[in-house]
Amino acid sequence: MTAPHLTTQAPQPRADVRSERQPTKRVDAEQLVLGAAGLVIVALTAGAFWLSYAHLADVAGQHGLGATPIRRWAWPATLDAFIVAGELLMLRAASRSSTTWSQPFLRPPRWSPSAS
């Protein structure tokens, strides 16, 4: 014979509470739309980058940089690197809810010349 207070049943999961182990079967429509928009943006960015880079390389070749292929392709790379850097700074500012990208650079120094 076992005592009734020593026999316990395993806890049963409640139907109204979602367990972390059970993934939801319903896919959120907003997440699908955002994912599709992200894919379209990546495809458009890649296409625009390719067209811009190829055109700038042709322009560089026609204006004196065509003698060496490295210089012909380095010129558009430097321009596109500035564009990428600017967009990364804008993304950083947006993620910090900052109104200006230069805000960290315009802060007064932490040290004072008169203190040293």
pLDDT-derived band at 34, boundaries 50, 70, 90: confident
pLDDT-derived band at 43, boundaries 50, 70, 90: very high
8 CB contacts (<8 Å, ≥6 apart)?
Answer: none
- CB–CB of 75/60 below 8 Å? yes
* Residue ranges per structural domain of the chain: 30-101
pTM, to two decimals: 0.48
| Tokens describing residue 72 | 């012909």
Q: Assess whether pLDDT exceeds 60 at residue 53.
A: yes
Q: How many Å apart are CA 6 and CA 92, to the nearest integer?
A: 59
| Tokens describing residue 2 | 């076992």
Q: Assess whether pLDDT exceeds 60 at residue 115.
A: no
- CB–CB of 100/93 below 8 Å? yes
Q: How many Å apart are CA 17 and CA 64, to the nearest integer?
A: 70
Does 88 or 20 have the greater pLDDT score?
88
